[in-house]
Amino acid sequence: MKAGCSLYPAETRAHTALHVLKGAVVRVLGEQSLLTTSTWVGGSKGRLAVTAARKPGPEELARIEALANRIVAADVPVEVYVLDRAEAERLFGGYIYDAFPVPAEVRRLSIVVIRAPDGSLWNINACNKEHTATTGCVGELRLTKARFRRSKGVLEISFQLRE
């Protein structure tokens, strides 16, 4: 983990890792995995569940982990914008939403944006949690389990962070 990042609680680091991991999943499995169906974070562990047509093979899981760790190593900024909902939707479209809806009465959204080192969009989501300032503060990410729920069309990927 990058120097100076120990001030972030493990859960903040793991939550930011969810965004990093989702970007890697979409790059390897494609846009059918764009919608997050659920997340869980406990200390330095987490689980990301996304829509999927199938369980990825061992090579794909290795590529997901390697891509996620490349973004961590690149230490790119984690940008957070607080915008009126209509403005956020105008600027970013439906990509900011996941499978679980943001209540209609919510009028301002926090939008998390992570870009790849080449400037392309890595991950974008409406998210009201705390995040690290850069991806380098996440630390090394290791996938621990992948489970595909065929009946729901959901892929769950669990991870552990190392410092």
Q: Which domain holds residue 35?
A: 10-162
Q: What is the 3-state secondary structure (H, E, C) of 50-87?
A: EECCCCCCHHHHHHHHHHHHHHHHHCCEEEEEEEEHHH
Q: Is residue 3 part of a domain?
A: no
Q: How many domains, in total, are found in the chain?
A: 1
Output the CA angle 38-42-44, nearest 5 degrees: 115
Predicted confidence pLDDT, tens digits, the chain (163 residues): 677 788 899 999 999 999 999 999 999 999 888 899 999 999 999 999 999 999 999 999 999 999 999 999 999 999 999 999 999 999 998 889 998 888 989 999 999 999 999 999 999 999 999 999 999 999 999 999 999 999 999 999 999 998 6
Q: Which of 52, 70, 29, 58 is nearest to 156 (CA)?
A: 52
Q: Is residue 2 part of a domain?
A: no
Q: Is residue 15 part of a domain?
A: yes
Q: Is residue 31 part of a domain?
A: yes
User: How far apart, in whole angstroms, are the C-alpha atoms of residue 102 and residue 96?
Assistant: 10
The CA dihedral of 152, 138, 28, 147, to the nearest 10 degrees, is: -30
* CATH assignment at residue 135: 3.30.980.10
Q: Is residue 132 part of a domain?
A: yes
Under 8 Å between Cβ of 86 and 43: no
